[in-house]
Amino acid sequence: MAHGYEMLESPAVPSAGRTEHREPAITRQNVTPRAMDADEPWMRGLHADTGYLLYRLGLRSGQLFNTFLQESGLRLRHYAVLRFLATSEGALQRELSARLGYDPSAIVGLVDDLEKQGFAERRPAPDDRRSRIVVLTESGRAFLRDTDEAGQRVTGELVGPLDAAERESLHALLLKIAADGLN
Amino acid sequence: MAHGYEMLESPAVPSAGRTEHREPAITRQNVTPRAMDADEPWMRGLHADTGYLLYRLGLRSGQLFNTFLQESGLRLRHYAVLRFLATSEGALQRELSARLGYDPSAIVGLVDDLEKQGFAERRPAPDDRRSRIVVLTESGRAFLRDTDEAGQRVTGELVGPLDAAERESLHALLLKIAADGLN
DNA sequence: CAACAACTATTGACGTCAACAATTATTGCT
DNA sequence: AGCAATAATTGTTGACGTCAATAGTTGTTG
């Protein structure tokens, strides 16, 4: 404990109302506006929860990434597929689904979009005619090359206030907790 | 069935000098299913991106929290509002919106739900009849007290593979990058 | 070898959720 | 008094996850 998280939450409303106000309106008794014995553990700020922080920053990260990709007509999920294909030299859609955690039905649309943009291609699997193998096209590779730097800038912006050592430390920690759940 | 995991490569690319890459000069029918000159920076695994890891873990965190809250009929966002109210002794909806990062229109529904459950109440603001002040009810406080332990268990489950020192370190790092964007 | 179970990609329906625009009531300014 | 700004609210739209159903294909098994 003993973190300086209080900085994130401001003390309610200053309410510098100068005007003399009227009737107190509601006077039900089930609400107690009194400042109850503070410092109870259950009333700590939101940012005291690592889980909530992760949730929050995850949203921000996704937003940043999406606005960065927006000009290319893709979204984060497409980018994830591309990046996955870049390391795997072709994958069954079923694999994409399992590894990236998206529903099989979602993969369909994603690969459709990537094919429309010419970044990926569906090929018939030689041994199983049910399956399709998705591979990067040359222009897909080019896209990854060209946007790589900008993508890293986005991440850089996200972890802005951290120095190099801290970034590495954070990355290692995240990797550690990402490793157990297959993700 | 399990393919080799590519994710556990060395953490965080030091991102040394950007070595210039050569063009394979493939002008034919794109796509080379062959293992191309690997180790190019742009084809590192997805988990090499801190931003993507954050996005991914944020999703997981949200899911865990939601399944934990599911029995009480609330979701993460409701819980966030409650926790915020617990620290601020009443807040304008506008403040909730600004502090929690939710759209004003979202606050409406959230407070509606909380009122239905009897955990919060809308009160007319004394100085401005446009505003409503949202306060915790007594049973709202009770709810927070009762669910606090379980909530911390959820976070504990999330950061499972980390020891105490690492958890604290992670929390501090997240806090640091959460601080800049108001969030 | 013929019937059946399992599997891959796909489509469709439904509910949730977040981001925007528009509306109503109210306030502050001049 | 008039007018821009503001707080809460409604409505709409698009993205997204889940789940059920289907067509084509494979493997198994009786």
- CATH of residue B175's domain is 1.10.10.10
Contact B183 A25 (CB under 8 A): no
Touching B: A residues 147-176, CB under 8 Å: 148, 151-152, 154-155, 158-162, 166-176
pLDDT at A43: 72
pLDDT at A2: 37
**Res. A123 pLDDT band, cuts 50 70 90:** very high
Angle, in degrees to the nearest 10, between helices A104-117 and A93-100 = 110
pLDDT at A167: 93
Do the beta carbons of residue B62 and residue A56 sit within 8 Å? no
Q: Please list the helix, strand and coil fractions of chain B in percent, rounded to the nearest 5, in that order.
A: 55, 5, 40
Tally of residues, chain A: 183
Determine the Cα–Cα distance for residues A91 and B3; give it in Å rounded to an integer.
11
Structure tokens at B45: 């695994």
Positions of chain D reached by protein Cβ under 7 A: 6-12, 15-20, 24-27
Contact B177 A158 (CB under 8 A): yes
Question: Given phi > 0 = left and psi -120 to 50 = alpha, else beta, which region is A103?
Answer: beta
Domain of residue A68: give its range: 46-180
Is B17 touching A (CB cutoff 8 A)? Answer: no
Do the beta carbons of residue B79 and residue B112 sit within 8 Å? no
Mean pLDDT of A35-60: 77
Determine the Cα–Cα distance for residues A110 and A21; give it in Å rounded to an integer.
58
Does B104 reside within a domain?
yes
Residue B136 is inside which H or E element, if any? strand B132-136
Share of chain A above pLDDT 90, in %: 45
pLDDT at B151: 87
**B41 versus B60: which is more confidently predicted?**
B60
Does B41 reside within a domain?
no
pLDDT at B131: 95
Buried b or exposed e, range A119-153, using 16+ CB within 10 angstroms: bbbeeeeeeeeeebbbbbbbebbebbbebbeebbe
| Average pLDDT score over chain A | 79
Q: In angstroms, what separates the C-alpha of A131 from chain B's closest C-alpha? A: 15
**Considering only CB atoms, which chain B residues are within 8 Å of A151?**
49
**Res. A74 pLDDT band, cuts 50 70 90:** very high
Q: Find, in chain A, the residue whose alpha carbon is nearest to that of B24.
A: A138
Residue B165 confidence (pLDDT) above 80 = yes
Does A152 reside within a domain?
yes
Do the beta carbons of residue B81 and residue B110 sit within 8 Å? yes
Does B127 reside within a domain?
yes
**Considering only CB atoms, which chain A residues are within 8 Å of B58?**
54-59, 61-62
**Res. B78 pLDDT band, cuts 50 70 90:** very high
Contact B50 A171 (CB under 8 A): yes
Angstrom CA distances, B145 to B78, B86, B88, stand at 15, 10, 16
Mean pLDDT of A60-84: 91
pLDDT at A60: 87
Residue A150 confidence (pLDDT) above 60 = yes
Touching B: A residues 66-125, CB under 8 Å: 76, 80, 83-84, 86-90, 95, 99, 101, 121
Q: Which among A5, A55, A151 is the nearest to B62, CB-wise?
A: A55
Determine the Cα–Cα distance for residues B104 and B62; give it in Å rounded to an integer.
21
Is A129 touching B (CB cutoff 8 A)? Answer: no
**A178 versus B4: which is more confidently predicted?**
A178
Lowest mean pLDDT of A85-99, B47-61, B162-176, name the range: B47-61
Q: Nearest nucleotide by C1' from A105 CA?
A: C10
Q: Find, in chain B, the residue whose alpha carbon is nearest to that of A172.
A: B11
Does A51 reside within a domain?
yes
Sign of CA dihedral A83, A156, A161, A64: negative
pLDDT digit string (tens) for B127-164?
A: 999 999 999 999 999 999 998 888 888 888 888 889 99
Residue B25 confidence (pLDDT) above 60 = no
Contact A9 B89 (CB under 8 A): no
Contact A95 B3 (CB under 8 A): yes
Does B81 reside within a domain?
yes
Contact A88 B3 (CB under 8 A): yes
Residue B20 confidence (pLDDT) above 60 = no
Q: In angstroms, what separates the C-alpha of A86 from chain B's closest C-alpha? A: 5
pLDDT at B49: 87
**Res. A44 pLDDT band, cuts 50 70 90:** confident
Does A22 reside within a domain?
no
Mean pLDDT of A124-140: 95
Residue B70 DSSP label: G
Does B30 reside within a domain?
no
User: What are B133's strand-pairing partners?
Assistant: B92, B123
- What lies within 8 Å, CB to CB, of B176 at 6+ separation is A161, A162, A166
Share of chain B above pLDDT 90, in %: 43
Do the beta carbons of residue A50 and residue B170 sit within 8 Å? yes
Query: Would the Cβ of A77 be found within 7 angstroms of any atom in strand D?
Result: yes
Domain count of chain B? Answer: 1
